[in-house]
Structure 1
């Protein structure tokens, strides 16, 4: 579930980046990008990522600073971009929009008051993935020769299916919904400074004596990005109820409750719209000159904010090339 309820149930262990060497990770691009975008805006001067036309492209700094960690550990990221948003998520999208509008009002007040710390915090909370941010991110990834996959709907669902089918070794996202989408192994904390953690679906199911379908039912009872949960039912109560009554329909009947569109939400997790036939090249050979020109020359990002990242990308890919010949 998009909220953190499932963390109380998920089997999660820390994993060292060194142990991920040679792995391929389907990264939920919007999720990964948003975290770098908000962090960059919060801790980087505005002029470093604002074009002469007033366009903000802090995402370009985030990509250049975030990508090296994968490459330095011989981990290949495959960035999976969202397609259309299901109508079941409209309520969640609207809630987030209202929250952002409230933050924007608070941001305006903080600027009038000259509260720099509050401005930095609220500026990060009002960020959204605009068309320009998505397009420029894709443009930079293309020049860096980093593989990209387009999902027909939820990028997280596509990443989970790629992991489930063995096309990649892991899905990469911060959202716990990856478990409900059936990702066997999911890496969280890919934008953190330290090592990530790994959520294990099979271990989670074994810990609670559940099937995947029953875990989805637990998620629906608690609430997901696609539905409101049942009042008074948390993760542990949901597991107990599903274990006792078999599935969500048995819980509804026994408790006299219901969840709107429960059948559709259940099917969305178990059979999401995904592209089953994805191909990509894991041999990354970046055109660093073109990438630098794109970021600094074409979009006017401050060179001092990205040069170290470009150097790390170059060092990592050169070393990878040498390793292939030894």
Structure 2
């Protein structure tokens, strides 16, 4: 879900050309959820092959990333590992919500309500081990490095950006800022048009959030930003402190400045109830250590492997894939002309 601080975060629209030649570390699970929830038929049914295997994620990885590679953008996909214990409560909550959505989906199917079917089918999405492995194989065939984090992929991606391995991290969630990513890219892998819950289509713009600009405009530091996120609510304390929204949280962290004083105020307040231990959540963000130490290498694109995965294994249209691969051949040609290291 991510922290809800969009109303107070400064950001600007950018174009794909603004990222030409730059490396972006992508939150893989966040992106796969986008593909699995948005790339669907009108009644909410995901794309599938004749064996009933879901292929929405493969379609998203292939077609969306081709456009990015054509623009000279270099991608690293960072996958989640084992979630921290702090997140178990949120995971359980999500499981319960999916079960409720499944029940509503079945009712919608019985009533023939395609709009409700589309809505509730999106809420039942699950990233399986099979989907993860298929995604990794296709990404690697496209020459896109895969990083396996021990825990939170979003945090690992943010740290890659902090270290200068990548120029920015990409996720829909603002949590990356709490991990100190210097730049956060939102809407990178989304279609340029997005369907809203009402069924309307709206233009989707790529957004750049700059960490230093956030701190400067809000007049806070990283520790205060982490406290702000905890007050509003993170995946480790869903809902945060009841009664404290984004703007009020900003007022509190600016007034009391230090983590101990911030939460001491909340704890002693007659207006608010602090019903969780904030310190392990704070340290999860502040003291997160990267786990990936190996050098990240960008390999050549394997056109035959891509066709094998998509056409042979999952029955994608050979004509469409062949036409799309022509674009990747141009990318590969450009790499060879400039020299692999220079291009990447």
Same fold (TM over 0.5): yes
Change (3 A) 1:100 1:22: same
Structure-1-length-normalised TM-score = 0.91
Q: Distance in 2 between matches of 1:250 and 1:26?
A: 35
Please say if 1:240 is aligned against 2:247. Answer: no
Which residue of the partner structure matches residue 162 of structure 1?
160
Question: Alpha-carbon deviation of 1:64?
Answer: 1.0
- Unmatched runs of 5 consecutive residues or more in structure 1: none
Task: Count matched residues.
Answer: 323
The one of 130, 135, 140 equivalent to 2:138 is 140
Please say if 1:312 is aligned against 2:322. Answer: no
Question: Alpha-carbon deviation of 1:248?
Answer: 3.1
Question: Alpha-carbon deviation of 1:45?
Answer: 9.4
Question: Alpha-carbon deviation of 1:170?
Answer: 0.4
Question: Alpha-carbon deviation of 1:55?
Answer: 2.4
The one of 204, 221, 226 equivalent to 2:236 is 226
Q: 1:187, 1:199 within 8 Å by CA — same for their partners in 2?
A: yes
Change (3 A) 1:225 1:47: closer
Q: 1:84, 1:154 within 8 Å by CA — same for their partners in 2?
A: yes
Please say if 1:261 is aligned against 2:277. Answer: yes
Comparing 181-190 with 288-297, which one deviates more in the overlay?
288-297
Structure-2-length-normalised TM-score = 0.86
Question: Alpha-carbon deviation of 1:252?
Answer: 2.8
Change (3 A) 1:240 1:65: same
Q: 1:173, 1:186 within 8 Å by CA — same for their partners in 2?
A: yes
SS at match of 1:41: coil
| CA deviation string 1:48-99 (max 9, x = no partner) | 52342x3223211121111112101100110000010011111211121112
Q: 1:27, 1:172 within 8 Å by CA — same for their partners in 2?
A: yes
Question: Alpha-carbon deviation of 1:145?
Answer: 2.2
Which residue of the partner structure matches residue 189 of structure 1?
187
Work out which structure has the larger RCO, using CA pairs closer than 8 Å and 6 or more positions apart in sequence: 1
Q: Which runs of 4+ in 1 moved over 6 A?
A: none
Which residue of the partner structure matches residue 280 of structure 1?
296
Question: Alpha-carbon deviation of 1:159?
Answer: 0.4
